[in-house]
Amino acid sequence: MRVPVKMIRLLRGVALAALTVCLLALTGRQVKKQDDMPCNAVLVGIDTDNGMAFIDSADVLKLLENTLADSLLNRPLHSIPVAEMEAVVLSSPYADQADVYLDAVGNIHVDVVQKQPVARIINKNGVHYYMDEKANKFPVHPTFTCRVPVVTGNISESLSEGDTIQSAELKNAYEIIMYMNTSDLWKAQLEQLQVRGDGVFEFVPKIGGTVVLGKAEDLESKLDKLELFYREGLNYTDWDRYSRIDLTYRDQIVCTKKQAWE
């Protein structure tokens, strides 16, 4: 006896629907079982690829322990306050990003990305703090020192004045540093950036001397001019002969030779 095609299609549909219901039921049981599973461990991962050591696993665990009302271990996974844990980690001045998630075997993962400083600020009152790549300020660390350029001079802004940089001096310093960081040459050479009282910027390269940048404008043309002098002009002379290199003049570089006593 030949079964009609419509009947075959109907039977296939019924079988598929039954299979789907079974799978959903099994999945639901598995999800509930996982939700009821107790927390076995809190595993902290710190991004250290950039060489930062502002915060470690012990710091994160201590911060969570001191802030959360209840212990995380042995708590059912469904009761783990994931969003609250992320907020707690981000309350550290050294944490830039935090991602908390649960795995299938009862572990809580806490992944942390540290802030990446681009400069260390020393204001007129001698207060030190860092400025990061997002123009945020954060305090220096009691034991870890990051090797970044130092910004000094006519800076009144303190660490407590907001989370992000506020003053024109620091905003201009940030613009200069971020632009110089796009060049492997000047990123490697920038040692110190000085803000004068008249708003003029000078920087000290690692090879010595002082370079007068002027205002935080026309940075591309100024630094292109300096790079040309650095790569080609120094074939005929020596950088060490000059105490000061001024880039503020249009289409030229004015160099001041060192005196005998310098």
Per-residue pLDDT of 130-150, as tens digits, reads 999 999 999 999 999 999 999
Residue located via tokens 């000085």: 194
CATH number (3.30.70.1350, 1.20.120.140, 3.40.50.720, 3.10.20.310) of 41-114 reads: 3.10.20.310
Averaged pLDDT for residues 188-201:
96
96-132 confidence digits (pLDDT tens): 999 999 999 999 999 999 999 999 999 999 999 999 9
Closest CA to 230 of 217, 250, 247: 247
Give the Cα separation of 213 and 224 in Å (integer): 12
Give the Cα separation of 49 and 164 in Å (integer): 25
Give the Cα separation of 260 and 120 in Å (integer): 33
Q: Is the pTM of this model over 0.95?
A: no
Task: Look at 210 and 35; give whichever has higher pLDDT.
Answer: 210
Q: Does the domain formed by 117-257 have CATH 3.40.50.11690?
A: yes
With 70 as the cut, is the pLDDT of residue 4 above it?
no
With 50 as the cut, is the pLDDT of residue 25 above it?
no
Return the domain boundaries, the chain: 41-114, 117-257
Give the Cα separation of 154 and 72 in Å (integer): 48
Give the Cα separation of 162 and 96 in Å (integer): 16
